[in-house]
Amino acid sequence: DQQVKQNSPSLSVQEGRISILNCDYTNSMFDYFLWYKKYPAEGPTFLISISSIKDKNEDGRFTVFLNKSAKHLSLHIVPSQPGDSAVYFCAASGAADFNKFYFGSGTKLNVKP
Amino acid sequence: DSGVTQTPKHLITATGQRVTLRCSPRSGDLSVYWYQQSLDQGLQFLIHYYNGEERAKGNILERFSAQQFPDLHSELNLSSLELGDSALYFCASSAGTGGPDTQYFGPGTRLTVL
């Protein structure tokens, strides 16, 4: 049973535009969420996180939004750059075991020059 | 470079065999996690060790086992291998501060079972 879902396997955007990656979760006990970026032949790299006490967290070009009532989070990248082309995973954990993360299946972002 | 090392990078073996994957965490990190990524799937959490002790188990098969040694490196043992065990296996480490930690991932070991 997939508790974290990324329903878009791929996304293509033009350089300079906004990329919006979406993630849904089913477990209402999740209270900590992260986004990881993965390039081919490398391990995932931490990008940004948010706890359930917030609805937005911003770090440079990357902003994560959390909608607890909808059990939905999104990652916005503005402006998108070709170097952002990678697979993006969202992950979630709950207070019961905050270091046990559940990952989505990933969205492959392609930023076209 | 995350500072997490995994060996070997690639492993090809036959069904029924046993393999050992090795992970060295970042300097100072006490927690080690193992994940499995099958084709087109997300990362499936397998197991978490903190300072030598097992802390959490995910969907880890009984044929799989892991341990963390006193020097904090970890090994994941996979036995009676099946074709479906072919996957990327990632190790991650974190400081183990007691709260949600950022996990730093190694480059992974690609296991192919023929």
**DSSP labels for B4-57?**
-EEE-SEEEE-TT--EEEEEEPPTT--EEEEEEE-TT--EEEEEEEETTEEEEE
Residue to test with chain B: of A39, A54, A101, A102, most B Cβ within 10 A: A101
3-state class of A84 per DSSP? helix
Give the pLDDT confidence of B16-54 residue by residue, as tens digits: 999 999 999 999 999 999 999 987 678 899 999 999 999
Residue A28 pLDDT > 80:
yes
Give the span between the Cα atoms of A76 and A46, in whole angstroms: 15
Report the gap between the CA of B12 and the closest CA in chain A (Å). 17
**Percent of chain B's residues with pLDDT above 70:** 96
User: For residue A91, which residues of chain B lie inside 8 Å, CB to CB?
Assistant: 43
Query: Could you give the 3-state DSSP secondary structure of residue B113?
Result: strand
Residue A83: DSSP 8-state = G
CA distance B91 to chain A (A): 9
Q: Which chain B residues are closer than 8 Å to A34 by Cβ? A: 102
